[in-house]
């Protein structure tokens, strides 16, 4: 497929995980991708794309900095002649220990700056450029942690709940612009953010326990998220707007329950 032939695309958090997988898929389908990340590993993503014959350039930047995001969008326009798609994927956990009474305002502010203000800034600067091209798509990474409690630290969960509302608000405020805004809500995915969990499970011989709470009984892979991200960015999703799509193996489809085992027949 060449759904993104000639399209100018920004992906933040492209140095690893879901961002890297999405950037590679966009490029494999003909897109010209500006890969952005705070980590130098973003250049490895660019090298992988170009080695496969795709078009990509990389930039190190802070997704929660207004000047950096403005520069990022300007670079995409300058390098690729405009902007069609933006994927605001960069995010941080703020640490695995994140109870309401174990954290402070400073750590909360940093998580909100990157995870929520970052997507806001992407929408603010990318949407006008996408509208100039006749419309396109913005995708933001939220999380199942933003849907309800129990899937992440408190500050992280609150920030991702904000992202879900942000895409709804943005979709409404851009009525008639041709710019669609949606979110993906990953469940447990093996990425740099969750690597410690997976490393521990492998070392302890407990990989069979990873993902056991969802009906598919497994964790997801970045490529599975990338498939949904690129769908939302494509014309295949032309009537999808203001939505938050959970990609979690079914985890968020239920409230907590105790699974009942079939009763054994009386002897």
Q: How far is CA 73 from CA 11, 124, 149, 251, in A?
A: 11, 10, 34, 35
Separation of alpha carbons 4 and 30, rounded Å: 5
Q: If you ran DSSP here, which 8-state letter would residue 261 be given?
A: P
Residue 156 annotated to the active site? yes
Determine which one of 87, 125, 156, 239 is catalytic: 156
Q: How far is CA 144 from CA 65, 157, 251, in A?
A: 25, 8, 8
Separation of alpha carbons 139 and 205, rounded Å: 36
176: Cβ contacts below 8 Å, ≥ 6 apart = none
Q: Which residues are catalytic?
A: 156
């Amino acid at each position: 497929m060449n759904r993104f032939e000639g399209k100018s695309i920004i992906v933040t958090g492209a140095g690893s995980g879901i961002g890297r997988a999405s950037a590679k898929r966009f490029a494999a389908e003909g897109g010209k991708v500006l890969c952005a990340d705070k980590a130098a590993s973003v250049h490895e993503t660019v090298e992988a794309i170009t080695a496969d014959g795709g078009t990509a350039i990389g930039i190190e930047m802070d997704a929660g900095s207004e000047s950096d995001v403005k520069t990022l969008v300007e670079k995409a326009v300058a390098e690729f002649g405009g902007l069609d798609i933006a994927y605001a994927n960069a995010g941080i956990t703020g640490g695995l220990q994140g109870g309401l009474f174990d954290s402070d305002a400073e750590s909360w502010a940093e998580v909100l700056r990157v995870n929520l203000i970052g997507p806001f800034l992407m929408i603010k600067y990318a949407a006008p450029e996408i509208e100039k091209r006749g419309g396109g798509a913005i995708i933001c990474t939220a999380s199942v942690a933003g849907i309800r409690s129990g899937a992440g630290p408190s500050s992280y969960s609150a920030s991702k709940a904000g992202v879900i509302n942000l895409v709804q608000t943005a979709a409404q405020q851009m009525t008639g612009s041709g710019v669609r805004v949606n979110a993906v809500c990953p469940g447990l995915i093996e990425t740099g953010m969750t690597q410690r969990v997976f490393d521990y499970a492998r070392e302890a011989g407990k990989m069979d326990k990873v993902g056991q709470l969802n009906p598919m009984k497994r964790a997801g892979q970045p490529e599975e998220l990338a498939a949904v991200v690129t769908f939302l960015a494509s014309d295949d999703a032309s009537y999808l707007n203001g939505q938050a799509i959970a990609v979690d193996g079914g985890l968020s489809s239920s409230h907590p329950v105790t699974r009942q085992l079939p009763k054994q027949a009386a002897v």
